[in-house]
A and B are shown apart, each in its own frame.
Chain A
Amino acid sequence: MATLPEPVERLLEAALVGELTVIDGRGRPVTYPLIPLYDGEKIYLTSSTLFSRKLEHIKGNPKVSISVTDPIAVGGRTDRATIQGDARVIEEDPHGGWERLLPIWSKKEPAIVWFLKQRVALPLFFERSLIEVTPRRALYWVDGSAAKAPVVTDVRKEAA
């Protein structure tokens, strides 16, 4: 069930790369560029075990945000958004569990299918955990400018 405002959904679907921000042990934000994968309800990201510090941070504090800010990464769109939400690390099967996201991942990055066939070349890159984000609140800048206040949507209220 769609819970985010429609323009924010379109941005997430278009974004080749967005920015996941997690909170470290000292309460500071740490931002990672990642491919956001949206299934119409939740936002998914994946993290190689090589770069898994973000997973440690999420396990310590599940409050995260995903922003979409780069016009180049969204096909020239100039609107911008930040989605706040609660994250869950899914790591039952780091070897292959994440592959269920391949259909939506490969739409954004077709080369991932080819890379996966070369798994022997970089095995640890393909040991991955899923990050599932349940959206709570969305901030949307229609023209992308911080000079205007964002449109804020409380996703939980909208869903209710």
Chain B
Amino acid sequence: MATVAEGRRTPDLDARTGLEKLATFPYAILTWVDDQGYPVSVAVDAAVDAGAGTVGFAAPAGLRIPLDRDVSLTGTHIRPQPGFGYDERRHVTVWGRASASDGRLTVRGERAWGWDEAEVPFFEYSERSIGQSRKYFDALSRERGTPVKPRLGFGPLVLRTTRLPFLSATVVPVLLGIAIAASDGAFDLVSAILTVIGACFVQLAINVSNDVFDTAQGADDMNVTPTKFSGGSRVIQYGLVSFRGMAALATALYLAGAAIGLVLLALRGSPALLVIGVVGFVIGLGYTAPPLRLVYRGLGEVAVALGFGPLMLLGAYVVQTQGALSWEPFVASIPVALLVALILYVNEIPDRRGDARAGKRTLPVRFSRAAVIFGYRAAVVAAYAVVVVGVLLGILPIPALLVLLTIPLALRVGRGLEPNYDNPYGLMAVMGVNIQLHLFVGLALLAAYAIVLLLAAVAPSVPLFVGR
């Protein structure tokens, strides 16, 4: 089946394109089916005339080339990489009928197919082919009379299904909220542990339910350039977990998160915690789920910023303070919120074509390349500016300036966006650094509060806030 998107065609090609590609190979492999019914291949020096739609070559000695059936001409290339394998894979095949004249044969190209990994990267080619894998397993299941499915070991499957490594987005703000509360003299170990566990359940539930709703609305199926940081877990698309299984898992994770939330309400309850919990649940589920579908309306970044910034951080804070609020945790949550939203923002860049087809109006779908890159840089500058201004105003502790040590990471992401904007797999490294940026800024803020707590214990006279 022809698969065409964004000017990339693979594997079917029109004959002229196939001939043009064939002309780039140093020789062609002429193949036909012999009278015994077996294919025969022989390398020939081919003269391609793409304009005329033909390939000419000397008739191979000692072999009878049939003129009454299709023959094919194939070009193939690899670059060996000793000790590794090979790369630069490309191949093309053109089919047509041969005619003979004066010891030469001419094949008129009628159709073609091929793949060039420089045009369609291997991962994209694989994603475009998952329908064929599904077809294979369906046929094998029918043949055996029992379902046969692709498999993955339990550990890797859990990792992939829940997107466990992304838990840093939750752990950072929650620990920061607990640390700020502790610096204000409020700390309860049991409720702190429950908060971390409950928040993690909620994030995992959101991850899984997003896959369910994105699949239901077609976004994950239409995305042929997912990366390990974007495009969802794809376990439903790969046939590793059923749609129902994912829905049941999301429900179970939400219930586990809600149960811990109720325990926290019972232990450390306050109206503020109840409001934060309800708003967090609505935003988390409504991120992809109807009727809100926040991410489809271009509100995904705002939802993520709110959810994994102020709501997580203030939620953890009020559990410890049993409802008391202050400006300090709110200001501290702003850089975390901006940077976590930027994780989503950058991850949406490679997804933008699939998202656009699914009607998902993310910021990279709505805005130009230049605007998206400018937006990233402006938001990062704002994140650092909030910390500096917060310190100067005496809201955040002076050690919070440790976050400035992460500026080189921000510069790497800012510089990496432009050259890799249209290269999802080149962008993967940039996305990785962007995730590190959020993590290290969070760790720097945590370190700042660890210093505050330590100095408060051993040297209480040391000033830690400007003007205090």
Contact = CB atoms under 8 A, between A and B. Distances in A.
Given A95-B151, A109-B86, A122-B123, A51 B39 contact: no
Interface stretch (B24-32, B283-291, B300-308, B376-384): B24-32
A119 B156 contact: yes
Interface stretch (B126-134, B266-274, B391-399): B126-134
Given A69-B41, A120-B156, A120-B160, A31 B74 contact: yes
Majority secondary structure of chain A interface residues (helix, strand, loop or mixed): mixed
24 contacts: A17-B78, A21-B39, A27-B70, A49-B133, A49-B137, A50-B129, A51-B129, A52-B136, A65-B39, A65-B41, A70-B76, A70-B77, A72-B79, A73-B78, A73-B80, A84-B34, A84-B36, A84-B39, A84-B40, A95-B150, A119-B152, A119-B153, A136-B38, A139-B40
A52 B44 contact: no
Contacts of A112: 85
B115 to A, nearest CB: 9
Interface stretch (A5-13, A37-45, A144-152): A144-152
B228 interface: yes
Interface in B234-275: 238, 240
A147 to B, nearest CB: 6
Nearest to B30: A146
Contacts of B89: 33
Given A27-B33, A94-B150, A17 B76 contact: yes
B62 interface: yes
A23 B58 CA distance: 25
Interface string A92-131: 0011000000000000111110000001111111010000
A63 B42 contact: no
B63 A150 contact: yes
B419 interface: no
Contact of B74 (A19, A110, A136): A19
Interface of B: 27, 29-34, 36-45, 58, 60-63, 69-72, 74, 76-81, 83-86, 89, 91, 93, 95, 123, 126, 129-130, 132-133, 135-137, 139-140, 148, 150-153, 156, 159-160, 228, 238, 240
Question: Does more than half of chain B's interface fall in helix, strand or loop, or is it mixed?
Answer: mixed
Contacts of A122: 123, 126
A28 B135 CA distance: 22
A50 B78 CA distance: 20
B32 A29 contact: yes
Interchain residue pairs A-B with the least CB separation, the first 5 = A149-B62, A109-B85, A67-B41, A120-B156, A146-B60
Given A63-B39, A127-B137, 4 more contacts: A23-B37, A29-B32, A73-B78, A146-B30
B132 A146 contact: no
Contacts of B152: 119-120, 123
B29 A146 contact: no
Given A82-B40, A120-B156, A146-B42, A29 B71 contact: yes
A61 to B, nearest CB: 8
Contacts, number: 182
Contacts of A63: 36-39
A48 B89 CA distance: 16
A16 interface: yes
A37 B235 CA distance: 31
A124 B235 CA distance: 10
Contacts of B41: 19, 21, 31, 65, 67, 69, 82
A127 B133 contact: yes
Given A29-B71, A33-B78, A23 B39 contact: yes
A43 B140 CA distance: 24
A21 to B, nearest CB: 4
B132 A52 contact: yes
B61 A147 contact: yes
A16 B84 contact: no
Contacts of B126: 48, 50, 122, 124-125
A146 B140 contact: no
Contacts of B63: 149-150
A142 B394 CA distance: 84
A149 B61 contact: yes
Nearest to B133: A49
B31 A53 contact: no
Contacts of A120: 152, 156, 159-160
Contacts of A85: 38
Contact of A55 (B79, B86, B136, B228): B136
B137 A144 contact: no
A91 interface: yes
A136 B123 CA distance: 36
Most buried by B among A22, A52, A148: A52
B83 A110 contact: yes
A58 to B, nearest CB: 12
